[in-house]
Amino acid sequence: MDKVIRVLISKPGSDGHWRGSVTVSRALADAGMEVIFGGFQSIPEIVETAIQEDVDVIGISIHSMAHMAYAKQLMDLLDEKGMRDEFLVLFGGIIPDEDIPKLLELGVSGVFGPGTMTDEIVEHIRSKIIGRGG
Amino acid sequence: MNDLRKIEEEEKKWMERARQKKERQERFETYSGIPVKAIYTPLDLKDHDYLRDEGFPGFPPFTRGVYPTMYRGSFWTTRQFSGHGTPEETNERWKLLYKEGETGFSAAMDSLTFVGLDPSDPNVEPEVGTDGVPLYCKPAVEALVKDLPIDKVSVAFPIECLTSAPVSAMYFNVYMERGFDLATCKGTTQNDILTMSIGYVQYKSLDPAHLLKLACDLIEWCTADKNVPKWHPINFTTYNYREGGIDAIQELGFGFANAIEHIEHLIERGRKPEEFVDRLAFHLSAHNDFFEEIAKYRAARRIWAKLLRDRYGIEDPKHLGFRYHIQTAGSSLTRQQPMVNIIRTTVQALAAALGGCQSMHTNSYDEAICLPTEESVTLAVRTQLVLKEESRIGNVIDPLGGSYYIEWLTDEIEDRVWKYLDKIEQVGGIVKALETGWIYREMAEAFHKRRRAIETGEERVIGVNCYVSEEKQKVEVFRTNPNAAKIEQERIKKLKAERDNRKIEELLDKLRRVCEREENVMPVVMELMGKGATLYEVCDTYRDVWGEWKQPIVF
């Protein structure tokens, strides 16, 4: 049997727009993934939880326009721990199109804004995780 | 005089003809799931009584409007929720909006202000000014309203219970320092428990009972204690709950249940409803279902008047008026084909105006992408100007009153809201519904339902699940000041160097004792903010005494 994909969904910072994080959590759970809902967490807490919960995917939901700063903090911390390849990192929320290439360059695997069909996220995760042989 | 039997006969004939053509859908319903027929006639209003159910504007039950002259007297206030970067930059934006035709100000505050933090916390430092204006101390509020005619134009602070006392207190102090009397101070503090717990989930929050206590502290101090008698110390912002995907019935249900909780808490404190109810205000959504929204506003006025009269025995009509601001639905906006958002907003604003709102915010077309640019927000203001100045919709009061459909739908919504209120009462009211997580389950269900409706195509969204095009966003992305965190850190540093730190320590100790004894925090918070305390210092005292609360979120 295939290993169940484990996903952590968290919100860094203090922005409280929670609908996206809950909506995506439910959609991924409905698609058979195991979702750990982190809620508000700092970047170090997110990485700590991801390690402890042994997740495959870290999903970051953000609506405050501070996505570049948090993405950099997250990828730097993963690098510091030598764990960049352990996790598939996804971002969702209010993120302008022109920032997407910059996030991908930092090592984020996918960016999903408002109006995304959740199937796209599920497909993305499955293709990448299987691609990694996970 | 209508002959109902004759109408029934004619209706049968019509039905026979109408049945010959297949309808484009199997069933038709409102956004809130109310099934609707093809046509409404006097037969649907058999039990309707004009004077009892509609009456005249300015008279109970206020179905047709809260003021006798409505927009023939004066138009609704154009009030754009606005803020970004630093208080100085927001002040510039407010001046532009005022010049362009805005008639009320509203401060969109950054998430740090919202949760009572400041850039000294590294976890939140990247968000300074990115999603609103930072107001961490009184000098920031001074800069925000500098040179603006705040004695004539009202200012709204959409900030919730945790931070409502210190943010309002900063403004009240600034108002007095500008040489004005608080007796003339007009505006609003949002101060809404549900906005900060289900509309938006608050980081480092307090438990619901203490949030209710803080909300009522501000209401009591402004109204019953007569310190700021013209202020609206609370604005039940059903808009924010609606944005989650709940329907119009739940929107009103949550809003009125929330108001009931506050009224009863204040009665328990020994206050009379007449001392404060006419300063309770609401902020509703203007969503996509045009007629349902209009009927919703009409039903809301009637429910409020009945609720205050029947539940609290208030007879004097001057206390029974339901006053509200509206915001067009941000959640209806799309990042795909963003210019289409201008049209969505216009239709929603038209419904709001036909429904008789007192104040309006129209969203800018780029808000699914970034904070609005000067160009997009100016266009949003001008959308209202076209409605006010060119469309002539303000010439006649409640122009849709008497429409068979609107009257039937108004009655239907009212009926459904009363039933939903009973349901909330059965779970123990709003504070209980938060503590037990019942309301979080209702919200999560709504999120899920709306996602499925869009993904299955049951709800059609142009550019998202139908009429999809490959065109990319062609909008200029608004970026906030990247140095905002540094500027605000300097502002706080300067303040702390100049203020009387011993006095602040003394007052913070006093606040701690006030919190421990569960007394009204407003008098000491007024003094603290006046003497230069920061928002963080006050909110951290609350958190220290009462502890933090983690919302029972489910997905």
Q: Is B109 helix (H, G, I), strand (E, B) or coil?
A: strand
| Residue of chain B minimizing CA distance to A72 | B126
List A residues 25-64 in contact with B (Cβ-Cβ < 8 A): 25-27, 29, 35, 37, 39-40, 42-43, 63-64
Mutate which of B125, B163, B195, B335 to test chain A, going by most A C-beta atoms within 10 A? B335
Selection from B254, B258, B256, B230 nearest residue B244 by Cα: B254
| Residue of chain B minimizing CA distance to A16 | B201
| Residue at A117 is within a domain | yes
| Residue at A116 is within a domain | yes
Q: How far apart are CA B218 and CA B158, in angstroms?
A: 14
Q: What residues form DSSP beta bridges with B188?
A: B156, B232
Beta carbons of B123 and A14 less than 8 Å apart: yes
CA B553 to each of CA A48, B31, B403, B512: distance values in angstroms, whole numbers, following the listed order: 21, 25, 42, 30
Min CA distance, B243 vs chain A (Å)?
9
A23 at B interface, C-beta within 8 A = yes
Q: Name residues whose C-beta falls within 8 Å of residue A73's C-beta, 6 or more positions apart in sequence.
A: A12, A43, B126
- DSSP string for residues in chain A: -PPPPEEEEEE-SS----HHHHHHHHHHHHTT-EEEEEEE--HHHHHHHHHHTT-SEEEEEE-SS-HHHHHHHHHHHHHHTT-GGG-EEEEEES--GGGHHHHHHHT--EEE-TT--HHHHHHHHHHHHHHTT-
Residue A84, domain extent: 7-97+111-132
| Residue of chain A minimizing CA distance to B451 | A23
| Residue at A1 is within a domain | no
Q: pLDDT value at position B381?
A: 97
Q: Name residues whose C-beta falls within 8 Å of residue A77's C-beta, 6 or more positions apart in sequence.
A: A43, A44, A47
Nearest Cβ partner for B130 among A19, A22, A65 = A65
Beta carbons of A113 and B477 less than 8 Å apart: no
User: What domains are there in chain B, each with its CATH number?
Assistant: 50-436 (3.20.20.240), 497-546 (no CATH)
| Residue of chain A minimizing CA distance to B447 | A23
| Residue of chain A minimizing CA distance to B202 | A16
Nearest Cβ partner for A14 among B124, B443, B472 = B124
Beta carbons of A115 and B201 less than 8 Å apart: no
- Per-residue three-class SS string for B468-525: CCCCCCCCCCCCCCCCHHHHHHHHHHHHHHHCCHHHHHHHHHHHHHHHHCCCCCHHHH
Q: How confident is the model at residue A2 (pLDDT cuts 50, 70, 90)?
A: low
A112 at B interface, C-beta within 8 A = no
Which residues in chain B have Cβ-Cβ distances shorter than 8 Å to A97? 335, 369, 472-473
| Residue at A103 is within a domain | no
CA B278 to each of CA B218, B243, B263: distance values in angstroms, whole numbers, following the listed order: 15, 26, 11
Min CA distance, B532 vs chain A (Å)?
24
Q: pLDDT value at position A130?
A: 75
Nearest Cβ partner for A16 among B130, B200, B335 = B200
Beta carbons of B114 and A35 less than 8 Å apart: no
Q: pLDDT value at position B474?
A: 79
Q: Name residues whose C-beta falls within 8 Å of residue B433's C-beta, 6 or more positions apart in sequence.
A: B257, B424, B427, B439
Q: Is B134 helix (H, G, I), strand (E, B) or coil?
A: coil
Min CA distance, B113 vs chain A (Å)?
10
Nearest Cβ partner for B447 among A13, A23, A42 = A23
Which residues in chain B have Cβ-Cβ distances shorter than 8 Å to A46? none
| Residue of chain B minimizing CA distance to A71 | B126
For residue A81, the domain's CATH number is 3.40.50.280
Question: In chain A, how many domains are there?
Answer: 1
* ipTM summary value: 0.92
pLDDT digits (tens, 9 = 90+) for A39-71: 999 999 999 999 999 999 999 999 999 999 999
| Number of CB atoms found within 10 A of residue B505's CB | 12
Beta carbons of B111 and A13 less than 8 Å apart: yes
Beta carbons of B451 and A114 less than 8 Å apart: no
Mutate which of B84, B111, B548 to test chain A, going by most A C-beta atoms within 10 A? B111
Chains A, B: CB contacts within 8 A come to: 112
| Residue at A81 is within a domain | yes
| Residue at A104 is within a domain | no
Nearest Cβ partner for A113 among B245, B335, B553 = B335
| Residue at A105 is within a domain | no
Nearest Cβ partner for B451 among A27, A39, A113 = A27
| Number of CB atoms found within 10 A of residue B494's CB | 12
Tokens found for residue A71: 């993405």
Ranges of residues in chain B with a pLDDT under 70 are none
Which residues in chain A have Cβ-Cβ distances shorter than 8 Å to B241? none
Nearest Cβ partner for B555 among A13, A37, A96 = A37
| Residue at A87 is within a domain | yes
Min CA distance, A26 vs chain B (Å)?
5
Q: pLDDT value at position B244?
A: 83
Q: Is B189 helix (H, G, I), strand (E, B) or coil?
A: strand
Nearest Cβ partner for A118 among B335, B455, B480 = B455
A109 at B interface, C-beta within 8 A = no
Q: How far apart are CA B102 and CA B70, in angstroms?
A: 19
If you count them, how many residues does chain A have? 134
Q: pLDDT value at position A134?
A: 45
Q: Give alpha helix (H) positions in B74-117.
A: 87-99, 111-115
Selection from B36, B8, B61 nearest residue B317 by Cα: B61
